[in-house]
Structure 1
Amino acid sequence: MLDIVIMAAGKGTRMKSNRPKVLHTLAGRPLLQHVLTMATGLGAESLITVTGHGAAEVEATMRAAFPSAPLAFVRQEPQLGTGHAVQQAVPVLHDGPDATTLILNGDVPLIEAATARALIEACCGRRLALLTIELPDATGYGRVVREGGEPGQSGTTGAAVRAIVEHKDATPAQRAIREVYTGMMAVPTAALKRWLAALNKDNAQGEYYLTDIVAMAVADGVPVVAAQPTSETEVLGVNSPLQLADLERRFQRTQAEALMEAGVRLADPARFDVRGELVCGSDVEIDVNCVFEGSVHVGDGVRIGANCVVRNARIAAGAVLHPFVHIDGESLGVRVGEAALVGPFARLRPGADLGPEVHIGNFVEVKNAQLARGAKANHLAYLGDATVGERVNYGAGSITANYDGANKHRTVIGDDVHVGSNCVLVAPLTVGAGATIGAGSTLGKDAPPGQLTVARARQASISGWQRPQKKR
């Protein structure tokens, strides 16, 4: 029987923001969402988040992100310390002889599932298991005091843990200890309830310290053990914009290294961001300052130029995104076909579906439109709510006028159509296969296949006409 308690009540004063600290984003997702994503894979009976500052916003955001997870929320108002936070969860913790409570922090987003499982196994429903790590600079952390009080002893080979002393309450000798408590532990639930009831706030902060239960466990003869994470990054918390930025770069470097080890060529791994899921085939090349959000799948041999932003899209093999392409598939997604060329400075919006060998050039926008093999819109054009056939040439400055002020309408353009420059196709409209639309035409009716259609006023010059002058 496993319950997970995530402490997320703090205001985060050092963030200097009105947003609750745990809703600040890392890699495009709130800090707390990272923790809950990991926790959902641990098989817990319930995921209990302790909220406080901005509680309603935090709870609503997480419920939307995890609609089917066993979420529960309790509120800590006012905030009187870590022990007081966990006390709020006591009424919803499950009972049982082997019941275990895993305690995590909502502002420590990169804790890994393997580390959490190791902590649970170390507890095994009978021991108090602490997640500890040795740091060269332990300032601000609670120190792990072991039997004999030897400063700097390793958490893996040192003597039995006797207590955790918070930094503000530590003596100079205790502050020399490099092994610190990370804020995460696994505890037998029955014992946890008993120890929480005995907490007091006789300390420098005047708060109820969760760490005081370590000394209680020792007094009760309950073994206190320590487990360690695989890296320091796993246990780093976020208390300021500087720390958030540092953790972002650490996370992105890990993402970049995993992609490069799989064969992706990154021009500079320090200038690369994944804020979701990026799956790449072989021989993919990505230039600097590219951002990937949501779910992005990139096929073999794709080349992505500098400064592209791609969200919720599938890029097929051999396609090229020239620099400064912006793709945002939102919920509909965007598809770029094999050997298609996009950009520079192109925009693909939700529902854009480019077939093989399609060319979308500079300052062209495509929204909810399907372009078949070999279609081209190379300059300064808009295609919205359109179906475009094979080998269509869509001229510079041409648009589909798809919105009548209340409803969207569709434009259908057949195979081998040539649309001249600066045309307006007023939907609903069909242009038959092989038709040619003369430059500057505004079409409000269907154009027959295989014919030239021109819809523009006859050119005239008016002699003696005077341009209006401003009154002085």
Structure 2
Amino acid sequence: MSLNVVIMAAGKGTRMRSALPKVLHKLAGKPLLHHVLATTHELAPQQTVLITGHGSAAVEASAAGPGRVFARQMPQLGTGHAVQQAVPLLDDAATTTLILNGDVPLIAPATARALAAASGGQALALLTVTLDDATGYGRILRTPDGARVLGIVEHKDASEAQRGIREVYTGMMAAPTAALKRWVMALDNKNAQGEFYLTDIVAMAVADGVPVVSASVSDDTEVLGVNSPAQLAELERRLQRRQADAWLDAGVRLADPARFDQRGTLHCGTDVEIDINCIFEGTVTLGNEVRIGAHCVIRNAVIGDGVVIHPFTHIDGDKDGVQVGAGSLIGPFARLRPGAVLGTEVHIGNFVEVKNSQLANGAKANHLAYLGDATVGERVNFGAGSITANYDGANKHRTTIEADVHVGSNCVLIAPVTLGAGGTIGGGSTIAKNTPPGQLTVARAKQVSLTGWQRPVKPPKA
């Protein structure tokens, strides 16, 4: 099918009470508009025209991509006026033009494709849904037998009887491109709002003898728009519950599907368990038999088989990613930052932070430690309170800890430095030079006790 797609993205979204353009508010971690663009991409149109207005520069920068062009609607004088701005950019070779809304993010590719097919370049096709509460939506007017669509009446212009109609127009349609151009340029604004209504083209189609058909959607989640923070929150929960149910069907054990958030792409192996209030962002892969404790945030990470992530752990791979090897134990209250690569059976305990560091198989840092820009060998034990001092105020430097080193508590390793294999660093040491393998290295001041010393006291009050 040869297809144009027009996406309405010009609205200010006054009820959002935000300086951010409405279509850039996020649902499941990405802007509303990006959800619609993902659906559009599946349709492979000849041309995608985005109509922008409020915050146009930000919207266009966010949505720019191959095959996308922009038409600005300034001022915003209604939906028909918006499509008028797109008319010069429509590809005449595309026999059908599909019109979608940038603030209706969950329209499925199959639904959009069916709507375009219902038009087929010959008919005006309207996407409709039946709602229990149709307040605010344009009502579908039909012949007495219900067989044919006669028009759409906007809620503000509808009579009391018409407001009782529950079949409503979703704001999305498909039309023959040539006829659409002719109809929208003939629109006027003689209505209660003084706006150019796109829905008025239905009567024009009827007058021209062009069939007006409907395609209906059964799941109203697909056609719900976002006009307020409350509506955005409602749609977020609907989407998250849909995703949670899909994971339950796939065999993932969710402690409570109502307290699950996937804000990106998640891959799960078999026998995965996820406790409450966990958030997955970016691209996350969980291997077989992974257990995620409550209140964890995981972003851009690959978690190996059999890993246990205890509660309140924060894993943020950002652009560099995080990798956790099979059988590792992480947390609680641990933080893995970009570039953390952990081998098998690594232990990262409570209040331990790892950044841009590689820990080989069996390495452990169980308490209150920082490992930044470090290469850590197999079976290293990194003591409580110890850190790598990797930053000299201008540049980052690397610490190398070879296999089987034991670093005592409260040590400072001043990079660049290498700790030789099998060595031991005495607790409380500050290490600024390379240490030999297999030896105990201690670098701390000699302990002394001063006789006759008295603790200062406060002078007596006057």
Q: Same fold (TM over 0.5)?
A: yes
In structure 2, distance between residues paired with 1:370 and 1:388:
6
Q: Where in structure 2 are the equivalents of 1:113-128 lying within 5 Å?
A: 113-128=109-124
Structure 1 match to 2:190: 202
In structure 2, distance between residues paired with 1:438 and 1:287:
40
Structure 2 match to 1:303: 291
CA shift for structure 1 position 462: 2.6
**How well do the aligned residues superpose, as a CA RMSD in angstroms?**
1.2
In structure 1, distance between residues paired with 2:400 and 2:200:
72
- For the residue of structure 2 that corresponds to 1:256, the secondary structure is helix
CA shift for structure 1 position 469: 6.3
Structure 1 match to 2:326: 338
CA shift for structure 1 position 468: 5.5
Q: Structure 1 residue 174 and structure 2 residue 123: aligned?
A: no
Per-residue CA shift, 1:45-104, capped at 9, x if unaligned? Answer: 2221111111111111223xxx4x3121111110000000111111110113x5211100
- Unaligned 5+ residue runs, structure 2? none
Q: Structure 1 residue 412 and structure 2 residue 400: aligned?
A: yes
Structure 2 match to 1:275: 263
Classify 1:70/1:467 alpha carbon distance in 2 versus 1 (closer, same or farther; 3 Å). Answer: farther
In structure 2, distance between residues paired with 1:9 and 1:236:
18
Structure 2 match to 1:264: 252
In structure 1, distance between residues paired with 2:101 and 2:194:
21
In structure 1, distance between residues paired with 2:458 and 2:283:
56
Structure 1 match to 2:80: 83
Q: Structure 1 residue 429 and structure 2 residue 425: aligned?
A: no
Per-residue CA shift, 1:188-239, capped at 9, x if unaligned? Answer: 1100110011100001111000000000000001111110124110000011
Structure 1 match to 2:217: 229
Task: Work out the number of aligned pairs and report it.
Answer: 459
Classify 1:77/1:466 alpha carbon distance in 2 versus 1 (closer, same or farther; 3 Å). Answer: farther
- For the residue of structure 2 that corresponds to 1:421, the secondary structure is coil
Give the partner amino acid of 2:212.
V
Q: Where in structure 2 are the equivalents of 1:311-390 lying within 5 Å?
A: 311-390=299-378
Contact 1:115 / 1:230 at 8 angstroms: preserved in 2? no
In structure 2, distance between residues paired with 1:381 and 1:270:
35
- For the residue of structure 1 that corresponds to 2:299, the secondary structure is strand
- Unaligned 5+ residue runs, structure 1? 151-157
Q: Structure 1 residue 71 and structure 2 residue 68: aligned?
A: yes
In structure 1, distance between residues paired with 2:415 and 2:176:
67
Contact 2:287 / 2:304 at 8 angstroms: preserved in 1? yes
In structure 1, distance between residues paired with 2:137 and 2:322:
47
Give the partner amino acid of 2:46.
E
Structure 2 match to 1:131: 127
CA shift for structure 1 position 139: 1.0
In structure 1, distance between residues paired with 2:276 and 2:383:
31
CA shift for structure 1 position 340: 0.2
CA shift for structure 1 position 466: 4.9
Structure 2 match to 1:29: 30
CA shift for structure 1 position 464: 3.7
In structure 2, distance between residues paired with 1:446 and 1:310:
36
CA shift for structure 1 position 470: 7.0
Correspondence for 1:93 among 90, 93, 101: 90
In structure 1, distance between residues paired with 2:217 and 2:397:
57
- For the residue of structure 2 that corresponds to 1:270, the secondary structure is helix
Structure 1 match to 2:103: 107
Give the partner amino acid of 1:120.
A
In structure 1, distance between residues paired with 2:195 and 2:365:
66
In structure 1, distance between residues paired with 2:315 and 2:119:
47
In structure 1, distance between residues paired with 2:291 and 2:44:
40
In structure 1, distance between residues paired with 2:77 and 2:457:
74
Contact 1:317 / 1:339 at 8 angstroms: preserved in 2? yes
Identity %: 71
Classify 1:162/1:438 alpha carbon distance in 2 versus 1 (closer, same or farther; 3 Å). Answer: same
Structure 1 match to 2:62: 61
Q: Where in structure 2 are the equivalents of 1:243-258 lying within 5 Å?
A: 243-258=231-246
In structure 2, distance between residues paired with 1:438 and 1:109:
59
Q: Where in structure 2 are the equivalents of 1:132-147 lying within 5 Å?
A: 132-147=128-143
CA shift for structure 1 position 461: 2.1
Contact 1:421 / 1:439 at 8 angstroms: preserved in 2? yes
Contact 2:129 / 2:218 at 8 angstroms: preserved in 1? no
Q: Structure 1 residue 161 and structure 2 residue 111: aligned?
A: no
Structure 2 match to 1:391: 379
